[in-house]
Structures are given as structure tokens and as C-alpha cells.
Structure 1
Amino acid sequence: MHSRPAAGVGLALLAAFTFATSGTFARSLVEAGWSAESAVIARVGVAALVLAIPALLSLRGKWHVLRSNATAIGLFGLLGVALAQVCFFNAVRYLPVGVALLLEYLGIILVVVWMWLRHAQPPRRLTVAGSVAALAGLAFVLDLAGTADFHPVGVLWGLGAAFGLAGYFVLAGQVDPRLPSVAMASGGMAVGAAVLLLVGLTGLLPLHATFGEVTFAGQPTSWLVPIAGLSLVAAVIAYLAGIAGSRILGPRLSSFVGLAEVLFAVLIAWLFLDELPTGWQLFGGTLIVAGVALVRLDELRRPAALDVPASRPVPATSARPEVAVDGR
């Protein structure tokens, strides 16, 4: 019993670290001429193919489970995969990786808003204080004083990624617990890649890529290197660990642990891209992380009855939409 929370925290930290590599891998492709949409399609398309066989094997005799969760998988693919990644990859075209990720992680505040509206849980003092701190930190991260370049387009993309991240946290653990995590991850990424490809073929999204050398960590290398990193490290490992961890911890605790992704991303961007936010932006980032942490701590103090991880049995009298409130 005691090992399950520890395993959940370990999986959430693994997911945070591997997700944190995506901005650094993506930057090398974007600077080489790839559109953000093409990078996302390559990332999740390859990952979906890698996971296809394990997903099919896990579903033997459970095809009815897949059919009953088709809508949830589709929404996960649209919000948690396509929207979140396209917006984030576009944000890193204009902003440092760490700043873009800080904007994306404001999605955790949106999770709290959703839980409040969906379950009538009004914010308490810690939540209000944390939200104020996060908004104050946002002002410093955006550097409204004008000491660094301000890219409103990048900010809008970053905020769009926040909505996608909120969808990821809420949807990942709301699926039927009988649906294997590998099937959830593979199905969601396949949906995300297919939708982006279809929309791109209509001309509504730019789809362009180059297949020569790219610069990664200051060194010329093949375009296959960042693609492999994006698809295998930042997608296959990250989504499997994230979904599995969320089913143990629930959305509040898993997203709280997931804050480590911000720190990992700043460290990785510094090591491989020699990229650090300004001093004021780092201060603002600290406020955002502290504010979100206060919100998460406040949410964790709520009655245990409100936190029903997806892996727990559901009473026969429960309505199907309430099977799992939690999930990342």
C-alpha cells in the first residue's frame, strides 16, 4: 500500500523530466525551418506507431472498453496532445523555453478553476493567495517593465498551451480504469497526429520541414536526432509515465509533482542551449511556481472523498461521468 504513492511520485517525476526535454529538442527543428505543427506530427506520430503493438496487445479481449472510451481518447488527443504541443512549440519560436513553459504551467490554475466549477469547490485563502502570487509572477515573466524583448504572439501561444495542459491533467485520469495506459497514450497521440495532419493538408496550418543537418546543443547533427528525442523520450516515456502516475496520484497531486518540469526545462535549456531567462523573469518564475504550489497544497487539503483516483473501484451507484475526478 505504501509503495503505490511512492511509485506514483517516481512516475510523475520521470514524466516531468522527459516532458521537459521537448522544448530543447523542438527548438533545433524550429530553427532549422520546421513548422511547429510538423514537429508535433512527427513527435506524436512516431510515438503512436512505437506504442501501437503494445497497445493492441493490451486490448486483447477489451475492444468494448476502447469503444466506450473513444470520446475521452479523442478529447485527450485534441487537447492534451495536439493543442498543448502545437501552442508550446510555437511559443518557443518567440520565447525562451523556460518562459514558454512557465506560461504553459498556468494551466494548473485552470485545473483548479475547473474542479471548482465542476464540483462546486470555492477557492480558499491559500488558493486565492497562490493565484495572486502566480499572476504577479506572470507580470515579471512577461517583463512588463520592458527590460527584455516582449513577444505578445509568443505569450498568446504560451497561454494557449496552458489550456491544453489543463485538458491533459483533467482528461488523462478520467478514462475508464480498465483502459490500459499504453492504449490511452497511443490512441491519444494517434488522434492528435491525424487531426493535425488533416487540418494541415487543407492549408489551414503550415506544414513544412527540412531533412538535412540541424544544430542541437551547439553541434550540427542529423534531423533524426531531435525527432528521436521528441518521439521516444519526450513522448513515449513521458506520456506513459505521466498517465500511469496520474492514475495513482490523481490530478491535484500529480500536477503538483509535475511542477518539477519547469525546473528541469530551465536546467536542460541552460545546459544544451545556453539559454536562461533574465533575473526578473527568474524571480517571476519563482512566484509562479510558489503560487501554483500554494494552490496545489490547498487542493490537497480538501476532503479525501473528493479525490478518487481512477485506479480505485467505483461504487455501483456512481454515475459513469463521475468514475474518476482525478488524472493527469
Structure 2
Amino acid sequence: MSTVVNDMRTTGVRSGLVFAFGAALSFGMSGAWARGLMDAGWSPGAAVTARMWVAALVLLVPTLLALRGRWGAVRRNAGMIVGYGLLAVTAAQLCFFQAVAVMDVGIALLIEYTAPIAVVLWLWLRRGERPGVRGIIGALVAFVGLILMLEIFTGSRIDPVGILWALGAMVGAATYFLLSGRGDTGLPPIALAGLGLLIGALGLSVAGVAGILPMTWTTQDVAYRFGTLPWFVPVLAVGVVATALAYVLGIVSTRRLGSRVASFVALSEVIAALLFGWLFLGQLPGLLQAFGGALVLVGVVLVKLGEPVADDVDPEAVPEPEEALR
């Protein structure tokens, strides 16, 4: 019996890691695709709204199929679903797109991925899970790295509004890790992603119609470093691959690994974003920025290592692979 349980734990962790790296790779390309759209004349609001509508429509039928007989779980978790849709989905994506409109994709994402520190801080304030010495040192190292990355002392121009947008994306990402890891809701991962994206798409559309969120788009071709594409290609890519697929993989991996481990593995998204930023846009950080970014990653790793060993996932409760998306 113990052998079976251990095999289930190993399988759950391995598949969780595969899903987590897949999510990081998918999420990592969103900023590069979106920056091309914005350089072509799209506003951040229009780009993220198109992204969310494409993803919501892709997941609509799978979401309805997954929710057959589980509408009671939707009613019980209505508040959490709305919070997920507005913060973990809408705020994170909109703030990130606003940030990459005025700063490099990799820098914006590095700021966003100080989210694990925010997760630790929230768990400390909310649950009394006080970080250890390594966690505190890690937070300080990440803060120093952030200062170097933004080149505050060199006189280089880093848009302060972009920094604020990136920090807003960080709050949204922290919410994503905290809510995605909840396995007690009775909601299938694909349903949580689909409902959250639908809520976000509706909310952004209402804000656009009301004139609160500027909506500007164009059907002109979009130029990237490797060539020019019709406008609908990056829209579909950012909606299907970098959103629908990414959120489903992210939620599945977080439920298998727990919010702490999943947020740690998701740091690989930074590497993916830097790679896609270079391949698509020719963006590369300077030497000082690269060193600061490395310190941010080291600091986050120290924060993660300073956390309790026990994670917020029950390995014995890991679903079988065929149950993961249902």
C-alpha cells in the first residue's frame, strides 16, 4: 500500500512539474506578442481584452462540460471566482500589458515575479507563518536587485508609471498563486480558469464601453524581429497559447505542487520571457539590469528556501492524470 502511495506522490510531482514548466513557457510569450500589437497601434486595454475573450471562448465548452452537476460548487465559491477573475486574471494581465507598453518585457516580468515574496508576506500576516532568517535575507537581496535592475542610481530613465503597473501585476500574480492552489473548492481547474477569464473579459468590455478603459486597435500587420504577421495571428497566439492553455496548465500544476512550490517553479517564466523578448523584439537587458535581475531571482529563491518544508498540497489527494482537467 505504501508503495502505491509513494508512486502516486512521485507521479503527481512529476506531472505537476511538467504542467508548471508548460505554463511558464506559455505565459512567457504573452508580453512579446502583446508588445508587437501595441507597437502596431493597439492600446493595452484592447490587447488584453482581445486576449481574454479569445481564451474565454476557447475554454467555454470545456468549462460547461466540466461543470455538469457541479453548479453548487460555483454558487458556494462565487466570491472566490469573482476575486480570481478580477485580480488573478484581469488585474495581472492588464497591469502587465500596461507595463510592457513602456518598458522591456523581461524587466516588467522580473518585477511581477517578486510575487512569491508577496505570497510569503500574506501568509505571514494572514496565517501567522513567519518567514525564517533566509526568507528575510532573500527579501532584502531581491530589493537590492530590484534597485539595480531599475538603474535608479545611474540616471537611466525607467518609466515610474511602468514600475507601478508592474507592481500591480505582481499583486495579481500573488493572488493567482494563492487562489489557484486551493484544492477544497470542488471546482475543476479548467472551470476555474474559464470562469475567471469570462468574468475578466466581461468586466474589461464594460469598462471599455463606458470609456473608463481606452480601447484602440488596428487591423494593420504586426512587425516582429523575425518578420511581419497579420494582426489576428498574435491575437490568437496570445489568447489560445499564452492564456487559455497557460492558465489551465498553471492551475493544474498549482493543485499538484501547492502554491509555494508552483510559484517557485514559475520563475522559469522570467527566462522564457527574456528569450521571447529577444527572439520577437530584440530586447536584451543591460549588464547592470541583468545583474540586478539575477539578484531578484536569488532573493526569491532564498525566500522560498526559508519557508516551511510542508507545502499546502496533500500528495495523497493528487488526482490521477485523466482527472486533472475535469
Alignment gaps of 5+ in structure 1:
314-328
Hey, what does 2:312 align to over in structure 1?
307
Q: Does 2:7 correspond to 1:26?
A: no
Residues 3-37 of structure 1 deviation map (CA, whole Å, 9 limit, x = unaligned): 11011111111000100000000001111111111
**Matched AA of 1:167:** T
Q: Does 2:254 correspond to 1:246?
A: yes
Residues 276-308 of structure 1 deviation map (CA, whole Å, 9 limit, x = unaligned): 011100000000000001111122xx152x624
Report the Cα distance in structure 1 between the residues aligned to 2:149 and 2:291, rounded to whole angstroms. 8
Compute the displacement of 1:174 (Å).
2.1
**Residue identity (%):** 44
Task: Provide runs of 4+ in structure 1 moved above 4 Å.
Answer: none
Hey, what does 1:57 align to over in structure 2?
65
Total equivalences in the alignment: 310
Compute the displacement of 1:232 (Å).
0.8
* Correspondence for 1:232 among 237, 240, 243: 240
Q: Does the 8 Å CA contact 2:26/2:245 hold for their aligned counterparts?
A: yes
**Matched AA of 2:300:** V
Hey, what does 2:109 align to over in structure 1?
101
Compute the displacement of 1:217 (Å).
3.0
Report the Cα distance in structure 2 between the residues aligned to 1:34 and 1:207, rounded to whole angstroms. 8
Give 3-state SS (helix, strand or coil) of 1:203's partner.
coil
* TM-score for the superposition, normalised by structure 1: 0.91
Compute the displacement of 1:160 (Å).
0.9
Q: Does the 8 Å CA contact 1:12/1:241 hold for their aligned counterparts?
A: yes
Compute the displacement of 1:105 (Å).
0.7
Bigger shift: 267-276 or 126-135?
A: 267-276
Hey, what does 2:280 align to over in structure 1?
272
Hey, what does 2:126 align to over in structure 1?
118
Q: Does the 8 Å CA contact 2:112/2:166 hold for their aligned counterparts?
A: yes
Q: Does 2:87 correspond to 1:79?
A: yes
**Matched AA of 1:65:** A
Report the Cα distance in structure 2 between the residues aligned to 1:307 and 1:162, rounded to whole angstroms. 21
Give 3-state SS (helix, strand or coil) of 1:207's partner.
coil
**Matched AA of 2:120:** V
Q: Does 2:78 correspond to 1:70?
A: yes
Report the Cα distance in structure 2 between the residues aligned to 1:101 and 1:167, rounded to whole angstroms. 16
Report the Cα distance in structure 1 between the residues aligned to 2:119 and 2:312, rounded to whole angstroms. 14
Residues 245-291 of structure 1 deviation map (CA, whole Å, 9 limit, x = unaligned): 00001110000000000011111111221110111000000000000
Hey, what does 1:255 align to over in structure 2?
263
Give 3-state SS (helix, strand or coil) of 1:220's partner.
strand
Cα RMSD between the aligned structures?
1.5
Report the Cα distance in structure 2 between the residues aligned to 1:184 and 1:311, rounded to whole angstroms. 22
* Correspondence for 2:293 among 285, 290, 293: 285
Bigger shift: 39-48 or 62-71?
A: 62-71
Report the Cα distance in structure 2 between the residues aligned to 1:13 and 1:75, rounded to whole angstroms. 25
Q: Does 2:149 correspond to 1:141?
A: yes
Residues 147-190 of structure 1 deviation map (CA, whole Å, 9 limit, x = unaligned): 53321111111111111111111111226442111111100000
Give 3-state SS (helix, strand or coil) of 2:269's partner.
helix
Hey, what does 2:3 align to over in structure 1?
none
What does residue range 118-267 of structure 1 map to in structure 2 within 5 Å?
A: 118-146=126-154, 148-174=156-182, 176-267=184-275
Hey, what does 1:44 align to over in structure 2?
52
Compute the displacement of 1:146 (Å).
2.5
Compute the displacement of 1:118 (Å).
1.3
Q: Does the 8 Å CA contact 1:177/1:311 hold for their aligned counterparts?
A: no
**Matched AA of 2:11:** S
Distance of aligned partners of 1:275 and 1:147 in 2 relative to their CA distance in 1, 3 Å threshold: farther
Report the Cα distance in structure 1 between the residues aligned to 2:49 and 2:76, rounded to whole angstroms. 26
**Matched AA of 2:87:** L
Report the Cα distance in structure 2 between the residues aligned to 1:3 and 1:109, rounded to whole angstroms. 28
Distance of aligned partners of 1:311 and 1:238 in 2 relative to their CA distance in 1, 3 Å threshold: farther
* Correspondence for 1:35 among 11, 24, 43: 43
